Amino acid sequence: EVGFYKDQKSAAQGVPYHSQIPVSLKDAACEVALDYKKKKHVFKLKITDGNEYLFQAKDEEEMNSWISIISAAAAADKSEAAASLSAPAAAARAQTLPAAVTTATAAAAESSPGKREKDKEKRFSLFSKKK
What are the residues whose beta carbons fall under 8 Å from the beta carbon of 80, sequence distance 6 or more?
87, 91, 92
DSSP 98: -
What is the pTM assigned to this prediction? Answer: 0.56
pLDDT score recorded for residue 36: 92
Structural domains present in the chain:
24-77 (2.30.29.30)
Cross-strand pairs, 79 = none
pLDDT score recorded for residue 115: 53
pLDDT tens, per residue, the chain with 131 residues: 888 899 999 999 989 999 888 888 988 999 999 999 999 999 999 999 999 999 999 999 999 999 999 999 888 866 665 544 444 444 444 445 554 444 344 444 444 455 555 555 555 555 555 65
Amino acid identity of 45? L
Distance CA 91, CA 86 (A): 11
